[in-house]
Structure 1
Amino acid sequence: MINIYEVMATMDNLPIFFFQHMERLHRSINNYIQLDYEKMLDIVKPLILSKLPESKGKNIKITFNLESSIFTIDLVQSRTPNKDSYIKGGTLGIVDLERDTPLIKRENLELRSISDKICSENGFYDILLENKIGGITEGSRSNFLCIDKDGRVITSPLSSSLQGITREMIFLVCREEGIPVIERVITKNSLKEFDSLIITGTSPGILPIRSCENIQFNIANPTVSKLQKGYINKQNIDLTIAKDYFNL
């Protein structure tokens, strides 16, 4: 059974980056079957509206089952880190695993189970996935970005990881702020070259990382602060778009 899904954060009982998530969901579904985008929106919109009054502090999960071609909407607990983690930085591990379909957001219960177990046993927020050639591709439930001492943002090859919505917004901030973005293979050994490391995702937004395995990072990098401020601004702009679309 194949389930394709999206998880959206909420603010003021509205989904954030709704259209970006819908476009990615549509791309994922169309890898298997053809589905009209506008028809999909017509199906999903009333389902989401029915959940919005109860969505405070929750994420909205949209699931499409390929066998039944049915959409379901659920409210799920947000995995937003506590305030202390944003101040002191989170911690990560690295594991020799990779997704079989990195460009499609589909349920992978085995990977999720492994990730949850490792994170629980070690106090990690997430684990980074290392592929067969030693490249770190993404987190089990997040993307990651490195920042060097010159303030440049370094990303793993985009073809090897899920096209994260939060990361996409950060790249927009980088273009607007003139922050260079470099795409290259990142290995466990090359992590030591970087000043800072952040993970990005629906629940954490932008979470500075203080350590990954035994490698320490600077959580006070000015580029990280600039990205966080820019991302919050993108969220606020999108909130206005969501209010108009859902007539709330």
Structure 2
Amino acid sequence: MTEHPVSTHDAAADDRNEDILIYVDGQIVPRAQAVVSVYDSGFMLGDGIWEGLRLYDGHIPFFDDHLDRLFEAAVYTEIEIGLDRDGLKAAVWKTLQANGMETDVHVRLMVTRGRKAKPFQHPHLSLWGSTIVIIAEHSKPDDSVVARGIRLHTVPHHRGLPLTQDAKLNSHSKLNCIIALNHAVRAGADEALMLDPFGFVNTTNACNFFVVKKGAVWTSTGDYCMNGITRQKVIDLCRAEGIPVFERNFSLVDTYAADEAFLTGTFGAQTPVFEIDGRVIGGGVAGPVFRRLRAAYKALIKASREG
């Protein structure tokens, strides 16, 4: 067991991040001065939406896909972003250019309902429009995680029905996932494997989850999890590569007997899973389907940049 949990967001420390400039409501300010009001609805209530982006060699792959999801969330939550798509794109590039960033950068684009007149939840108390914050950090994924793999522990906290909080919504309120992760870490794992309301395998606290069985790739139906951009790209790549892929209900019985398992997310792209609930998956090494898809995804990133 490692001394501390491995994470799909592991990255080498970079001293440049101590002096980054951050976008706050149209202003580019030093990190120490990048603040929002304690009355901000995001700070006070988790009332906000966000997207994570990656900068590769001067290019942000799938930028439009991320903005599609952000604006869909804005419609659902009735948050007036205050900028259109071109305005948000310009704000992101302004932040990157101010920092002289060209590659290996993670961008977190956040929009809240804005500052409130009183510390209560009613949306009408947010009188001054949205708060937009863009944090861009030098952050290169730790490729050694492919050799180390991720350990998962199945937790009792599930991704709920849309009647409570729709898991497809990329909101600031992540407490359910954080509690799940704490549970998994206490059990000696790296991340939490979360089930759906009916006990089928769903996702982790931070990433989408896939298994490989007899050469076919399985993932959840997507009904109770964030439908990740990278998740969809992997499904598309399977189809393009002639790899059978299924979005289906499956249980822990299917999972424990998988030949391979892996996670997907914007930051880490694809990360292999070597252990689930103490059971070794795929002999504890990255399998051939994972490696094939990881190579295909890197080629897709390169093609999107050149296109």
| TM-score for the superposition, normalised by structure 2 | 0.70
SS of aligned partner of 2:263: strand
More helix by share: 1
Code of the residue aligned with 1:62 in structure 2: it is: L
SS of aligned partner of 1:144: strand
2:150 corresponds to 1:86: no
Aligned counterpart, 2:266: 202
Q: Distance in 1 between matches of 2:139 and 2:193?
A: 20
2:230 corresponds to 1:143: no
Alignment of 1:99-178 (within 5 A): 99=159, 100-118=165-183, 120-121=185-186, 124-149=189-214, 151-178=215-242
SS of aligned partner of 1:12: coil
Q: Percent identity?
A: 22
Q: 1:179 to 1:166 in 2, by over 3 A?
A: same
Q: RMSD value over aligned CA atoms?
A: 2.5
Q: 1:13 to 1:120 in 2, by over 3 A?
A: farther
Q: Distance in 1 between matches of 2:182 and 2:131?
A: 31
**Deviation of the 1:13 alpha carbon:** 4.4
Aligned counterpart, 1:4: 49
- Select the residue among 69, 79, 87 that pairs with 2:130: 69
Code of the residue aligned with 1:189 in structure 2: it is: V
Q: Distance in 2 between matches of 1:91 and 1:144?
A: 12
Q: 1:159 to 1:78 in 2, by over 3 A?
A: farther
**Deviation of the 1:191 alpha carbon:** 0.9
Partners of 1:4 and 1:65 within 8 A in 2: yes
Q: Which moved more, 1:86-95 or 1:224-233?
A: 86-95
- When Rg is computed on C-alpha atoms for both structures, the one with the higher figure is 2
Aligned counterpart, 1:224: 290
Count residues with an aligned counterpart: 238
SS of aligned partner of 1:24: helix
Aligned counterpart, 1:49: 93
For 1:118-140, what per-residue CA distance to the aligned partner results, in whole angstroms no more than 9, with x for missing partners? 45545644212123321121111
Aligned counterpart, 1:234: 300
Code of the residue aligned with 1:59 in structure 2: it is: H
Structure 2: any 5+ residue segments left out of the alignment? 1-44, 115-128, 160-164
Partners of 1:26 and 1:35 within 8 A in 2: no
| TM-score for the superposition, normalised by structure 1 | 0.85
Q: Distance in 2 between matches of 1:22 and 1:12?
A: 20
Q: Distance in 2 between matches of 1:222 and 1:64?
A: 40
Q: 1:116 to 1:14 in 2, by over 3 A?
A: farther
Code of the residue aligned with 2:147 in structure 1: it is: I
Aligned counterpart, 2:63: 18
Aligned counterpart, 1:58: 105
Q: 1:109 to 1:155 in 2, by over 3 A?
A: closer
